[in-house]
Structure 1
Amino acid sequence: MSLNELSMRDEALVALLAEGKTPVQAAAELGVGHATVYRALARPDVRVALATARGAHWSESVTTLKREFRSSVDVLREIRDDTNQPAMVRMRAALALADLALRTCKVTDEDVRLTVLEQIAADHRGQRERS
């Protein structure tokens, strides 16, 4: 079976998992054993389809969250810079901004490292398959 040709059951499994069902819940809905689901998840074509479906499923939500994140940062910045606010409120806003900045840097760094590791793993698999 090629990468783009999943069975109807595998497509249904991918859809259930992409919307947030656990493998056990998906197995129950499909009327199969959980071992069947885990065997399917071990296949590269199913994993790729699931990653693609999850990306599409969450893309709109992520866009909304990014927009809201920017608004939240703007509000915190306004509070921090508003000299009419009590010092404690301004300090809390500044601390919240610093915390958000650190978390964002950490997530960005982890994303870069994960991408590099995935590429190394893919290269390693490719070398192993060729030999």
Structure 2
Amino acid sequence: MGQALKIALQNEPLVLSYMDRAGKIAIEQVADGFGMSKGQLAETAGLARETLYRVARSRTAKTQGRLREMLEIISRVADWAGGKEQAMAWYRAQPLPAFGGRTAEALVKDGKAGAVRDYLDHMAVGGFA
């Protein structure tokens, strides 16, 4: 894992807790950690169902990036949501007024994880939705 990625992830303990020694997101651990099947996890991250069942596809940059984005967002809200399970529920179901009522899950699936992270950073410093 590159030094820049390590530094970027220092404040994302949930992401780091699901990484293997090679710096990849461990799919089985994430699915087990949230009580999901690999198929459910794929759907939640906006990936094709079979992607997480094939080792080669589960380790691609696109797949790993999407899972990392999802975990980064969940990690940012876990403290005030009451834990990672509640943060996952928020991620999947809470409409965000600043995004026309779309959920963080829908936004990540559309490639807008950066906008969600920026929104959460804004809210963390006392900004308004």
Calculate the TM-score normalised by the size of structure 1: 0.22
Calculate the TM-score normalised by the size of structure 2: 0.22
Report the structure number with the largest CA radius of gyration. 1
